[in-house]
A and B are shown apart, each in its own frame.
Chain A
């Protein structure tokens, strides 16, 4: 077959062009397979625990997810006898004994008033709670698995003495949780070393969900809207869900009771004679 030189040159040029394009395409595909898309770490390293209340939660809302408008159940625990009030319309509502459950918005800051502290009955502490993340409890279990925020007596005393106490509550990773049995009445907590950021420490241990700040005394300018952080809305939940108890069983005949061992109504029971 007779071909012209120009045709052969164009054929060779097309061949080189095709091979070169294919090579570039293969290298590009390999580069796609080699580099995975960068994933944003789910931590708060860009934030700091000493940021003003509301800053961390507000930035958390911008990261997406079903967070805006969700009322995360929070259980506020305190020593026996302590009364807790929540802010409603720039004033505190009726003080209720601890524990107290409430649904709080993520990113909002809630001001509390804690009174009737043991050995400091005349003093008040005004902590704040900032919810920075939520948990995803199955349907019907939200109230049972509320985020616990503990106001320990030691922290309250430190706040009264003028110290500023910050507690970052985090959700433990079950695969890296402490194996210690949960025999202590309170939750496990760590003390952040001086100079450490408690939020960064909590990030290393799990997923921070709430920040408790305590130590703010009554401001000199009085109770204003800034002190209450706008009094964000909350949903009040009963601290202990009501349980419909079954009616007591009908009383047994007197003769059968006497034969029962350990019955408290039996006159033959030695336990009953104890003082």
Chain B
């Protein structure tokens, strides 16, 4: 029997609607994964709006002659700057995955003795005060120049590039072990049994002997004139006299005071250069040591066998040339604290080291630090090694947001230090 009509040797296993449904389902699953940096860590918000682009295109913020094209960063930072979003040290080879924390981990991070498996340290979070980084909604600058997504405990810097973009760079996170305790009190009295017996009735057999009627006065008239009136008249004017005193004031220098503090004894803070001698300290951090590993492999292995020489002649089959884009703006923001442990009432210094590790000048560099609720900014304690303008404004945690605006563009290879003081509440 021949059934050539129904014979379809190349017929698909899935019907057409099922295949379409599968494609739609896969598309929905893939779309549910958020792509990195879409919302704003870099140029997402600013470039789409356009007003910032217009400012930079007029050339009134960054002069053309300021461009030198000399990158001052090492190899790792160059690779890092090629990523569309800033990455972690352990993600130098690849761009960061979405949701990963950004910034540069530094040593002296306090850690508890134990953490549940699968959870990152420091743990538990309620015993630490975090300052720095950009957690939650990524910070970004809108087209109107407004900074959004900056939450409490975040520390970011935003700057303008030569091509008109406004980029945002978070700092690393700094943790302070500073638990604070409270109490809830309840006072309970003793339970006692009380019983009151009410009076059932009153019987008064005695009657009144004689009724008395009080006649109220229906009308009253005062015929005596008032002798006087006493009023209190408050003073309407106040006249004071200032003595012949001398008013003297001491104007403190606005320049960067004090030398480097002991907790700033890191080459990255002092000179902006990472050194291998700091590797043991960096080993305390989680996976930071991966970034410090050398790219050279083991050359000779001595295990009681003679070294074998291997000579190989390989011919170059193909040559690829990768041309870098002309401009790679990159700002590095490193944050350290004077102490990893603090109790209420202690004062903590925070130091921010910023460096232009790109190959083009950065304009309108602004560093913003939104302090935690338990950190009280000590007034007029901020100082910067370069000319800058400081300002504070309250944040949602009833603390302040310290804002430092650099007066001049930051040339490639240049950097500075910002330091301020906080009191732990």
Interface residues, chain A, with chain B CB atoms under 8 Å away: 1-5, 8, 15, 18-19, 23, 26, 30, 33, 49, 65-66, 135-139, 141, 144-145, 147-148, 150, 155, 158, 162-182, 187-192, 196, 198-199, 201-202, 205-207, 209, 212
Q: Which residue of A lies closest to B375 (CB)?
A: A174
Docked complex Cα distance between A174 and B184 (Å): 17
Q: Are A198 and B181 in contact (CB under 8 A)?
A: no
The residue that B183 contacts in the complex, of A66, A139, A164, A168, with Cβ under 8 A, is: A168
Question: Cβ of B118: which chain A residues have Cβ within 8 Å of it?
Answer: none
Q: Which residues of B contact A180 (CB under 8 A)?
A: 425
B9 proximal to A (CB < 8 A): yes
Residues of B within 8 Å of A202, CB to CB, are 182-184
Within 8 A of A (CB), among B332-382: 340-341, 343-345, 372-374, 376
Cα-based distance from A135 to B128 in the complex (angstroms): 11
Residues of B with C-beta under 8 A to A30: 25
* Beta-carbon contact of B183 and A174 below 8 Å: no
In the bound complex, do residue A164 and residue B187 qualify as a contact, i.e. CB atoms below 8 Å apart? Answer: yes
Q: Assess whether B182 is in contact with A4, with CB atoms less than 8 Å apart.
A: no
Q: Is the CB of A179 within 8 A of B373?
A: yes
Q: Are B190 and A162 in contact (CB under 8 A)?
A: yes
Q: Would B186 and A191 count as touching, CB distance under 8 A?
A: yes
Q: How far is A179 from B398 in the complex, measured between Cα atoms in Å? A: 6
Q: How far is the CA of A167 from the CA of B187 in the complex (A)?
A: 9
- Given A172-B126, A179-B397, A187-B183, check contact A145 B13 (CB 8 Å): no
A3, A15, A136: the one within 8 Å of B127 (CB): A136
Nearest neighbor of B110 in chain A, beta-carbon distance: A138
CB distance from A226 to the nearest CB of B (A): 21
Q: B340 — which chain A residues lie within 8 A by C-beta?
A: 138
- Please give, as numbers and ranges, the residues of chain B lying within 8 Å of A141 by CB-CB distance: 110, 177, 341
Are B25's CB and A19's CB within 8 A?
A: no
A179: chain B residues at CB < 8 Å are 373-374, 397-399, 425
Give Cα A187 to B184, complex, Å: 10
Closest chain A residue to B15, Cβ basis: A19
Bound Cα distance A172, B115 (Å): 19
Q: Which residue of A lies closest to B129 (CB)?
A: A174
Whether B82 sits at the interface, judged by CB under 8 Å, is no
Given contacts A138-B113, A182-B345, contact A177 B185 (CB under 8 A): no
Of the candidates B153, B177, B184, which one forms a contact with A137 in the assembled complex, judged by CB atoms under 8 Å apart?
A: B177
Near A by CB (< 8 A), chain B positions 117-142 give 123-124, 126-130
Does B61 sit at the interface, judged by CB under 8 A?
A: no
Additional pairs, 17, CB under 8 Å, beyond known A165-B186, A174-B128: A3-B3, A19-B13, A19-B14, A65-B114, A136-B112, A138-B177, A163-B189, A167-B185, A175-B152, A175-B373, A178-B425, A180-B425, A181-B423, A182-B425, A188-B183, A196-B186, A198-B186
- Name the one of A165, A166, A170 contacting B182, with C-beta atoms under 8 angstroms: A170
Q: Does B233 touch A at the CB level, under 8 Å?
A: no
Q: Which residues of B contact A (CB under 8 A)?
A: 1-4, 6-7, 9, 13-15, 18, 22, 25, 29, 110-116, 123-124, 126-130, 152-153, 177-190, 340-341, 343-345, 372-374, 376, 397-399, 423-425
Contact B180 A177 (CB under 8 A): yes
Pick from B2, B181, B341, B398: contact of A169, CB under 8 Å: B181
Given contacts A162-B190, A174-B372, A187-B182, contact A135 B127 (CB under 8 A): yes
Is the beta-carbon distance between B373 and A137 smaller than 8 angstroms?
no
Q: Are B179 and A145 in contact (CB under 8 A)?
A: yes
Among B397, B399, B423, residue most surrounded by chain A Cβ atoms (within 10 Å): B397
Distance of A26 Cα from B15 Cα, bound (Å): 16
CA distance A28 to B183 in the complex (A): 47
Residues of B within 8 A of A49 (CB): 186
Is A169's CB under 8 angstroms from B182's CB? Answer: yes
Q: Whole-angstrom distance between the alpha carbons of A187 and B179 in the complex?
A: 12
**A135 CA to B122 CA, complexed, in Å:** 12
Of all chain A residues, the one with the shortest Cβ separation from B188 is A164
Query: Roughly how many angstroms separate A188 CA and B178 CA in the complex, as a whole number?
Result: 15
A188 to B181, CA, bound (A): 7
On chain B, the residues within 8 Å of A136 by CB distance are 112-115, 123-124, 127
Chain A residues lying within 8 Å of B178, measured Cβ to Cβ, are 174
Min distance, Cβ B392 to any Cβ of chain A, angstroms: 15
List 15 A–B pairs whose Cβ atoms lie within 8 Å, in order of A's numbering.
A8-B3, A19-B18, A138-B341, A163-B188, A163-B190, A165-B187, A169-B182, A172-B179, A178-B425, A179-B397, A179-B398, A187-B182, A188-B183, A192-B185, A205-B184
B214 smallest CB distance to A (angstroms):
48
Q: Per a CB cutoff under 8 Å, which of A137, A174, A205 touches B112? A: A137
Question: Contact check: which of B184, B372, B399 meets A189 at CB < 8 Å?
Answer: B184
Q: A133's closest neighbor in chain B, by CB?
A: B124
- Residue on B with the closest CB to A190? B184
Query: Which chain B residue has the least Cβ–Cβ distance from A202?
Result: B184
Query: Measured between C-beta atoms, what is the minimum distance from A73 to chain B in Å?
Result: 12
Docked CA distance A138–B18 (Å) = 57
Q: In the docked arrangement, what's the CA distance between A174 and B177, Å?
A: 11
A135-B127, A187-B182 known; A174-B373 Cβ under 8 A: yes
CB distance from B124 to the nearest CB of A (A): 6
Using known A-B contacts A136-B112, A138-B111, determine if residue A155 contacts B177 with beta carbons closer than 8 Å. no
B296 to chain A, nearest CB (A): 35
Cα A196 to Cα B178 in complex, Å, equals 29
